[in-house]
Amino acid sequence: MSLVNTNWLEKNLDKVKIIDCSWHMPQTQRNGFDEYKNKHIKNAIFFDLVKNSKKDTDLPHMLIDAKSWEGIVSNMGIKNDAQIVIYDNSDVISSCRCWYNFIYFGHDPSLVHVLDGGLKKWINEKKPTFNNLTNTISSNYTANEKKGLVKNKKQIDENINLNKFQVIDARSRERFEGKVPEPRKGLRSGSIKNSFCLPFSELINEDYTFISKEKILDKFKLIKIKPNKNVVFTCGSGVTASVLALAYSIIDIKYKPTIYDGSWSEYGNN
């Protein structure tokens, strides 16, 4: 159950840990934390996608080390057996990246959920919001890093010849085909050789909920994923790749989300 709906969350507010992981593309000039301070779901804790990523790199949103992750989650007051619901107020459904991070660092996937439709749907349904900062009591969280759930550039390059897994790109078709410039400076246009394109936006309805399981399956069938073939997702910086990973987990409950962490920010670097 990767997704939960707004009614379910409203009934279970006091039984789960709630995370606001709103992150916006730089060109939007929006600040997730400022918006969180103004309006969020009761008891929500803010997760800063930029601050909680690897520091000693120019690449955005790279996974941090396990010890740092333990400190971040412990400071949020989240325990290893906590049931977690993550939401966002972002056009790029950034909550899915936080979902992936928790699974990568060993949290039980059955306990990590994304709020379908996010804060937008919650507000549209006139459900209550708050502007007070949520108090937390530190825990002693322990990470269990699943290194097989991430790919690096060397593995991506080797796979072009070995073809051990299929690479699916969540960026727009225009970016994938190199018809428009990349939003980040210094990146060439184009895509990874032999990769496929499935824009994450095609899996999202107008109200920011995911399309139905049947429609998700149809979208992936168009890519002709081979039976028993591993699937690795990529995008610009590892955020919308996680949207595809979550969607794929809906149609394959045994799938363990696997991301090329550097994504095009690394691969397309001139």
Contact assessment for residue 251 and residue 216, using Cβ atoms and an 8 Å cutoff: yes
Residue 229 has a CB neighbour count (10 Å cut-off) of 10
205-207-209 Cα angle (round to 5): 60
**What residue type is 123 in one-letter code?**
I
| Distances from the Cα of 6 to the Cα of 147, 193, 199, 209, angstroms | 32, 40, 25, 10
Residues contacting residue 213 through CB under 8 Å, at least 6 positions apart: 250, 251
30-36-40 Cα angle (round to 5): 135
H-helix or E-strand containing 216?
Answer: helix 213-223
Q: Which amino acids are annotated catalytic? A: 235
Rounded to an integer, what distance in angstroms lies between the CA atom of residue 44 and that of residue 13? 9
Q: What single string gives the DSSP state of each residue in 190-204?
A: ---TT-EE--GGGGB
Residues contacting residue 168 through CB under 8 Å, at least 6 positions apart: 195, 196, 197, 198, 223, 231, 232, 233, 234, 244
Contact assessment for residue 121 and residue 208, using Cβ atoms and an 8 Å cutoff: yes
Total count of residues recorded for the chain:
270
